[in-house]
Amino acid sequence: MADFDSPWKEAIEFYLEDFLQLLFPDVHAAVDWSRGYEYLDKELQQIVRDSELGRRYVDKLVKVWLKNGDEKWILIHIEVQGDEEAQFGQRMFVYYIRLFDNYDRPVVSLAVLADENPNWRPASYQSGLCGCELRFDFPTVKLLDFTERWSDLEQSQNRIAVVVMAHLKAKETTRDPNSRLRWKTQLVRFLFERGWTRQDILELFRLIDWLMVLPEDLEKKLEADLASIEQEKKMPYITGFEKRAIEKGLSQGLSQGLSQGLSQGLSQGQIEGLQDTVQAVLEVRFGGIEPQALEELKSLTDLAALQAARAAVQTVDSVESLRTIWRQVTQS
């Protein structure tokens, strides 16, 4: 079964501002981005652990500051089920009320519907008895609606637009691998034409690669197409060490760990997967990693530090420079 949860989780973690700007522009406009933001993984883990909510979904809880100076919490819920679910609105309400009850914080609940049913559009939860009435409304975005706005996505400089395109084409080409190859190649070409940084191209390619999995024979064809594109653009980013190292890291821990560990909140699997990915890139770039540094990496459990290490591992000039980065984040 295709993994749509994990790429979306990482897309939000890396490109939160772009995510809100494209999908929830009113929320994006209200946030004071100059003050930064903070992911509240422990708080979200607590309400998921205390709630009978079924399987783990792609949820992110973020603390932001509004332009009027208020501090707000934003709950982002990604619904990737292919079938409609009668209890979806109730689950959104349970998340909201538990956060409010446990932490006494105002919460903005957002839902992205990534399924293929155009008629399933839950946006509220209602309950009432003997004159006591409750209605909980929450903003939703249906990714399927972007099929009618494809030209807008193609012209957009928003990096999440590429993730939306990859998601839609992955769904559309489930039974047509040759068509998926064509679209995947086209989206990669799109990355090079946007004028984005090398880091963005690598990160977005990784997300596209994750969403649009190909059979082995077509994967080899893709490699040849990518080499041709890189030669044409004079940007040898994807077919070099980064892609091999990322693939090694994902196969060793990240994709398996995420699938095993999402139900556990911020999982040990996710942590180990990030560690493996960083280690794999270091081994390819520098021919190995000394035992002391490896031991320190394997004992690193701070998510922000691991994400910073993964973001920097492809550009640092030494293993020691990367150790300095993750230590700074851990101590901040």
Closest Cα to residue 61, out of 123, 129, 9, 6? 9
Asked if residue 262 has pLDDT above 50, the reply is no
Q: Write 18-23 long-range contacts (CB < 8 A, 24+).
A: 18/158, 18/159, 18/160, 19/76, 19/160, 21/158, 21/160, 22/156, 22/158, 22/160, 22/161, 22/164, 23/110, 23/112, 23/141, 23/160
Angle (CA) 113 116 121, round 5°: 45
**Res 276 pLDDT > 80:** no
Confidence at residue 47, expressed as pLDDT on a 0 to 100 scale: 72
Handedness of CA 114, 262, 213, 195 (dihedral sign): positive
118-128: per-residue pLDDT in tens? 999 999 999 99
Instruction: Please report which confidence band the pLDDT of residue 17 belongs to, taking 50, 70 and 90 as the band edges.
Output: very high
Res. 132: pLDDT tops 50: yes
How many secondary structure helices (H) and strands (E) does the chain include?
16, 7
pLDDT tops 90 at residue 266: no
Domain spans in the chain, listed from the N-terminal domain onward = 5-144, 242-331
Q: What is the pTM for the complete model shown? A: 0.73
Summarize pLDDT for 157-184 with one digit per residue, the tens. Answer: 999 999 999 999 999 999 999 999 999 9
Strand 71-79 to 58-65 pairing:
antiparallel
More confident call, 74 vs 1: 74
**CA Rg, the chain, in Å?**
21
Closest CA to 306 of 285, 330, 289, 280: 330
Tokens standing for residue 96 = 């909201």
Residue 134's SS3 state is strand
What whole-number distance in Å separates Cα of residue 255 and Cα of residue 257?
A: 5
Question: Coil, helix or strand for 294?
Answer: helix
Specify whether the CB–CB gap between 324 and 316 falls below 8 A: no
